[in-house]
Structure 1
Amino acid sequence: MDNSISIDRSQWLLDSPNDLISLKKWQNTVNLLAELFNAPAGFLVQYTPGGFQVTISSEQETNPYPSGIVIEPEANIFCRRIVETRTELYVANAPLDPCWDTNPEVHNDGFKSYLGVPVFWPDGQPFGTFCVMDFKETDYKQTYFDLIHQLKDILESDLSLMEMYKQAQKLAVTDPLTGLSNRRGFAILAKQRIHLAQRLKSQLGLFYFDIDLFKGINDDHGHAVGDEVLKEVSSALQVSTRDADVISRMGGDEFVALVSLKQSGDEDNILKRFNQTLTRQIAQSKLPEFTVSSGFANVDLLSSIEDIIDIADKAMFEKKKCNH
């Protein structure tokens, strides 16, 4: 749906979660880090110009930092040192080093030991840090260093997956009027999305939309008005779906939306949001009133794109016959 070239790295991932990554998997990875190190706290921390946010925090009562908290960018914390140097940092006993005298993690919360590694976006820019902290002095062996690097590779692979998906969107052929992908672009993005759904064992559905009596709108009001109608439908679809959903203008007055289904009834909620949004947009515009017919099909992840589109198209056509 989003045709931008890359992910907005100034935004916290927790504020705009991406359907292509599993925060549950990230949580399990951070929990595993803390458990294997027998440490009271482990973290995945994201860095932006706004500071350092704990994206994932290990789930122990001994951990004083919950997910979501933000530390201001100038604070003298361990993660800041890693982002600035782009290298791992191991501090066995921080109170012995005067450079950490103003570190709030040490002097406010009582941490002594820190081991962290940088986490990078695919282009080499820092995402943040993956780290473990302890209230006691530590003496980690090389195996522990190897382990934390191995686990952080899991996190970086998901960041790479997000970037690859954005690149696929960039390369897709788009419809110049609405900015959506066209039929060819949809085929490219849909294959990527279905592949991801197979990998993540998630469920997808496909909507097929058709503007009712669109030829009459063009004949009675002109093609400029018809173009505005197409733009309003495109806008309503974008508002009503998630960032990782794939929507497309297939040609003429027909649109499709390949959507993620997380729970029962999601498809009804998406359609309800679309209809409400479109009704509101029409009321706020000077366009003639119009309606849109829709069909829906659950996606068999082993079926071809063409078969899935055909099923949703037939469902839309049958509903349209009943309504007219």
Structure 2
Amino acid sequence: MNKKTIFDPKTFLLDKPNDLISLDKWQKTVNLLAKVFHAPAGFLVQFTPDGFQVTISSQQSSNPYPAGIVIEPEANIFCRKIVETGTALYVPNAPIDPCWDTNPEVHNDGFTSYLGVPVFWPDGTPFGTFCVMDYKQTEYDSSYLELIEQLKDILESDLALIDLYGQMQQMAITDPLSGINNRRGFEALGKQRITLAQRNKAKLGLCYLDVDNFKHINDNYGHKMGDDLIKHIGLILMATVRQSDVIGRLGGDEFVALVLLESQDDLAIIKQRLQLGFASAMNATSLPDYSVSIGAIEVELDASLTTLLDEADKEMLKNKKRLA
């Protein structure tokens, strides 16, 4: 809902290039692999649920597979075997092995030998394979397998860089206590959401939430209980709003939710849903009794986010005074 990822592992990298990855460096690595192995073709292949895409292809006239081609996920190809097992695969003479009788690389394109190793994302899930193929039978010794493992480390280090950068970016926009966007994250995502609404002529609502008598809770039950309440509010917000909505903690006990409105009554319904969520969840926790004041306004798409937050805050304070 609010988490931004640098790269989606289910998306082909060539369809959404990332500035943190030097495809030129990857190209040089694949070219070097093919050159050292005296192989007519070398590849970096990415796997997603949509199939196997050649991300990088060695730049040789003998290589029949250009970068960008996609092979269906059920095809009986060498790379599929590696992704399924998570281990290296060396086939020196594929035509004599019946398990490759339906392999199009062997029987359509004439390849005989294959050597490949798995490439992993930092979390251990498969990115794809790094491999060489030859039209003739080969007899690689263990040093060749060691070499291809060393070269693929270069590729995995770039994938690790993406992951690390993503974690750092997420930390910069996430409130560590509630687990939702901090002010910076909410403002950045909120402005994007408003721009998208302007483009799509959609309607948005803004809810401004404030815990009533939060200081009293801290003073009488301790700051740990106050922290637990902040975490609790974050969880309720995440469970209540929709995937298209943007939520955040502005600081202290103040929270906001920028929500998509699909009907005239949506804003009132969402406000009621939040209140019911707090009430029902409170009964299932050891937290002290608490209440939340909510100000809800329909968003004027040409107004600044700062102005909108100020208006929603004022609406919340009116409601708080009525309950006092």
The 3 A distance-change label for structure 1 pair 288 and 47 is closer
Distance 2:191 2:125 in 1: 37
Distance 1:141 1:287 in 2: 69
SS of alignment partner, residue 138 of structure 1: coil
Percent identity of paired positions between Structure 1 and Structure 2: 66
Offset, 1:164: 0.8
Q: Which amino acid in 2 is paired with 1:48?
A: T
Distance 1:174 1:73 in 2: 36
Alignment partner, residue 20 of structure 2:
20
Contact 1:94 1:100 in 2 (8 A): yes
Alignment partner, residue 103 of structure 1:
103
SS of alignment partner, residue 43 of structure 1: strand
How high is the TM-score relative to the length of structure 1? Answer: 0.56
Alignment partner, residue 163 of structure 1:
163
SS of alignment partner, residue 158 of structure 1: helix
The 3 A distance-change label for structure 1 pair 129 and 233 is closer
Alignment partner, residue 33 of structure 2:
33
The 3 A distance-change label for structure 1 pair 171 and 78 is same
Q: Which has the larger radius of gyration?
A: 2
Contact 2:7 2:18 in 1 (8 A): no
The 3 A distance-change label for structure 1 pair 181 and 148 is farther
Contact 1:87 1:118 in 2 (8 A): yes
The 3 A distance-change label for structure 1 pair 3 and 114 is same
After superposition, give the CA deviation of every residue in 1:98-132 in whole Å (9 maximum; x if it has no partner).
Answer: 11111000000000000000000111111100000
Distance 1:288 1:147 in 2: 57
How high is the TM-score relative to the length of structure 2? Answer: 0.56
Aligned length in residues: 206
Contact 2:116 2:129 in 1 (8 A): yes
Structure 2 gap ranges (5+): 199-249, 251-297, 305-324
The 3 A distance-change label for structure 1 pair 171 and 289 is closer
Offset, 1:8: 1.6
Give matches, 1:44-59, under 5 Å: 44-59=44-59
Offset, 1:169: 2.0
Distance 1:16 1:91 in 2: 33
Structure 1 gap ranges (5+): 186-226, 240-250, 252-284, 292-324
The 3 A distance-change label for structure 1 pair 231 and 133 is same
SS of alignment partner, residue 172 of structure 1: helix
Q: Which amino acid in 2 is paired with 1:83?
A: V
Distance 1:288 1:131 in 2: 52
Q: Which amino acid in 1 is paired with 2:36?
A: L
Q: Which amino acid in 2 is paired with 1:107?
A: H
After superposition, give the CA deviation of every residue in 1:149-200 in whole Å (9 maximum; x if it has no partner).
Answer: 000000000111111111112222359xxx97756x7xxxxxxxxxxxxxxx
Distance 1:53 1:21 in 2: 17
After superposition, give the CA deviation of every residue in 1:59-101 in whole Å (9 maximum; x if it has no partner).
Answer: 0011000001000011110000001111000000111111111
Distance 1:38 1:233 in 2: 50
Contact 1:27 1:58 in 2 (8 A): yes
SS of alignment partner, residue 14 of structure 1: helix
Distance 1:19 1:37 in 2: 30
Contact 1:180 1:234 in 2 (8 A): no
Distance 1:73 1:41 in 2: 21
Distance 2:65 2:125 in 1: 25
Alignment partner, residue 147 of structure 1:
147
Contact 1:3 1:169 in 2 (8 A): no
SS of alignment partner, residue 116 of structure 2: strand
Give matches, 1:67-216, under 5 Å: 67-174=67-174, 182=183
Distance 2:192 2:34 in 1: 49
Contact 2:46 2:52 in 1 (8 A): yes
Distance 1:288 1:106 in 2: 59
Offset, 1:289: 5.3
The 3 A distance-change label for structure 1 pair 93 and 161 is same
Alignment partner, residue 8 of structure 1:
8
Contact 2:41 2:132 in 1 (8 A): yes
